[in-house]
Amino acid sequence: MSLVRTERLSKVYQMGETALHALRDVEMTIDPGEYVAIMGPSGSGKSTLLNLLGCLDRPSQGRYFLGGEDVSQLDDRRLSAVRGARIGFIFQSYNLIPQLNVIENIEVPMFYRGWSETRSESRARELADLVGRRPPDPPADRTERRPAATRRHRPGLGQRPRRAPRRRTHRKPRFTQRRRNPHHPRRPASAR
């Protein structure tokens, strides 16, 4: 069974008397474990498609199946439940909370899911271990650091991308969206 499947997915925005066709009859299938990049020029509908796939919006026409379930016409409450249980988001800005340390930032979505403090802290520490944020030497344990507001104390650019994905993997989502600004400079592989 495919993870994501769309049938003639369309989105039309009504701008007064003008109909703006952001998407027209998109047909796609994404299988479990597959990596997909959605690329195109500005205004081609990339963000609209990601909003539909992330259950942030509903299509004007067509159908969207997430793990075999047609989610294209669910009401807001059900779409919210699907997002919370089955979709993980990683945002360009990472949305870290400066007053919280690494473990507490990872725990945020677990709090909203109603997890106990003991369970969420345990899972957050597991996830931090997965990305090497908890070295064995306690004084060097970076999980107690906070993403401070001052530039001097902010986590490095290489550290931020490692924290945010942990926030979405606590519940092992079936589908994860990661958005990256195409204009953000990336170091060539040889410089990493």
CATH number at residue 32: 3.40.50.300
Q: Which residues of the chain have pLDDT under 50?
A: 135, 137, 139, 149-153, 185, 187-192
Q: What share of the chain is helix, strand, coil (3-state, %, to 5)?
A: 35, 20, 45
Domain boundary residue, one of 36, 59, 74: 74
Output the pLDDT for position 111. Answer: 86
119 inside domain: yes
Output the pLDDT for position 171: 56
Q: What confidence score (pLDDT) does residue 130 get?
A: 85
Q: How many domains does the chain have?
A: 2
Res 7: pLDDT: 97
pLDDT at 59: 96
CA–CA distance, 164 with 16 (Å, rounded to integer): 39
Which residue matches tokens 């060097």?
140
- Model-level pTM greater than 0.85? no
**What values do phi and psi take at 3, rounded to 5?**
-80, -45
State pLDDT tens for residues 9-25: 999 999 999 999 999 99
Shared domain for 66 and 30, answered yes or no, is yes
Residue 111 within any structural domain of the chain:
yes
The answer to whether position 59 is within a domain reads yes
pLDDT score for 51: 92
Which range marks the domain in which residue 132 is found?
102-174
